[in-house]
Amino acid sequence: MKIQVLGGGAWGMALARLLAGYNHETHLWVHNATHAEQLRRTRRNEALLPGITLPETVSVTQTPAEDPSMAVYAIPSHALRETARLCRFEPETLRVSATKGIENDTLLCMSAVLHEEAPASKVAVLSGPSHAEEVARDLPACVVAAGRDDDVRKHVQDIFGGSTFRVYTSHDVMGVELGGALKNIIAIAAGACEGFGLGDNAKAALITRGLAEMIRLGNACGAEAATFAGLSGLGDLVATCSSRHSRNYQVGRCVARGMTLHDILASTPKVAEGIRTTKSAMLLARKHNVEMPITAAVYKVLYDGMDARHCITALMNRLMRAEWE
């Protein structure tokens, strides 16, 4: 099968390597000309995915392949719409979003953005705990393929599934996407918790209460609560809130060191989706009148410059209540 992967970052490289390993005709579209040439020449990107060599069978280009059966989007969420407009495919090409985020301006999840840009095409989502650094080394991972149609999600499952990359299916597209996006915000808070040395009890409470507010917003947006107990919710949340590979977790650790958002963004070429998602989540919470205290605290620290320790104290001093109230 001819598959076009869009995005030359760590996740795009990892997915291209995975698909090429299944003997699919795999093309990798890279937006930046310098990065594309380097990847063609060396087959490596030490800054984003150190120690990993892209197979020679993967075609690295700046021009999308003609008539691929599947287009896999592994790019930053803020660039998804622009990329969908720049790289046009036939309606028959199945679009698969492997991007986790919520568009700031429209508050749409990524599959909805693709639906708007290609209304005649089928769209699926691939999400779950899957750090590129581990997938690229063939370490075991389990993810979820979500889609409106059973045949679409089963097809994605068949294409991506293998001995080290197990794929489950779900019909709850909204739940799968919100889980993948919102957990990045909680990971920023978890990184700060670790950076301040607040201990395992605090981190466990943070993750659990973070999940509770993810479910509240998910329910308000039409998602199913049970989805958040699965791989794309709790699974991804646990991985992202505890891993050295997590960019959002590292953002939180930077916050604990007193770095400003400007300093954090300037310190790394990597994209931490939770930074932008925090804005979208707060707007969604206000729209649906949903209480999200941890998300609100992260927003205040990142965008209002509030002291993180003050936010922690404020969270602990909130009115006590029943756990599932």
* Average pLDDT per 10 consecutive residues for the chain, totaling 325 residues: 97 98 98 94 94 97 96 97 97 98 98 97 98 97 98 98 98 98 97 95 96 98 98 97 91 93 86 93 98 97 93 92 86
pLDDT at res. 142: 98
pLDDT of residue 244: 86
H-type alpha helices, the chain: 10-21, 33-42, 80-86, 110-117, 132-135, 150-160, 173-195, 200-220, 236-240, 247-256, 261-266, 273-288, 293-303, 308-316
What whole-number distance in Å separates Cα of residue 290 and Cα of residue 283?
Answer: 10
Gap between the Cα atoms of 69 and 3, Å rounded: 6
β-strand partners of 27 = 4, 59
Closest CA to 68 of 40, 42, 50, 87: 87
122 is catalytic: no
Task: Please name the helix (run of DSSP H) or strand (run of DSSP E) that holds residue 146, with its range, or none.
Answer: strand 141-147
Dist CA 158 CA 168 (whole Å):
10
Give the helix/strand (H/E) hosting 124: strand 123-127
What is each CA distance from 165 to 135, 136, 137, 227, 262, in whole angstroms? 8, 11, 11, 20, 36
pLDDT score at 267: 85
| CA-based nearest residue to 270, from 86, 4, 3, 13 | 13
Sign of the C-alpha dihedral computed for residues 99, 101, 104 and 105 taken in this order: positive
Which DSSP category does 7 fall into?
Answer: -
Q: Which of 2, 122, 154, 183 is catalytic?
A: 183
Supply the pTM of this predicted model: 0.95
CA gap 241, 190 in Å, rounded: 6
Side-chain half-sphere exposure of 135, counting CA atoms within 13 A: 27
User: Which pLDDT score is estimated for 51?
Assistant: 95
Q: Residue 324: what pLDDT?
A: 84
Which superfamily does 2-171 belong to? NAD(P)-binding Rossmann-like Domain (3.40.50.720)
Instruction: Match 């209002």 to its residue by tokens.
Output: 304
* CA 245 to each of CA 43, 122, 248: distance values in angstroms, whole numbers, following the listed order: 21, 32, 9
What CATH architecture applies to the domain 174-316?
A: Orthogonal Bundle (1.10)
Task: Estimate to the nearest angstrom the gap between the alpha carbon of 282 and the chain centroid.
Answer: 17
For CATH 3.40.50.720, the residue range(s) in the chain are 2-171
Residue with tokens 């919710």: 233
Instruction: Specify the domain boundaries for CATH 1.10.1040.10 within the chain.
Output: 174-316
Give DSSP secondary structure letters for 49-106.
Answer: BTT----TTSEEESSPPSS-SEEEE-S-GGGHHHHHHHS---TTSEEEE----B-TTT
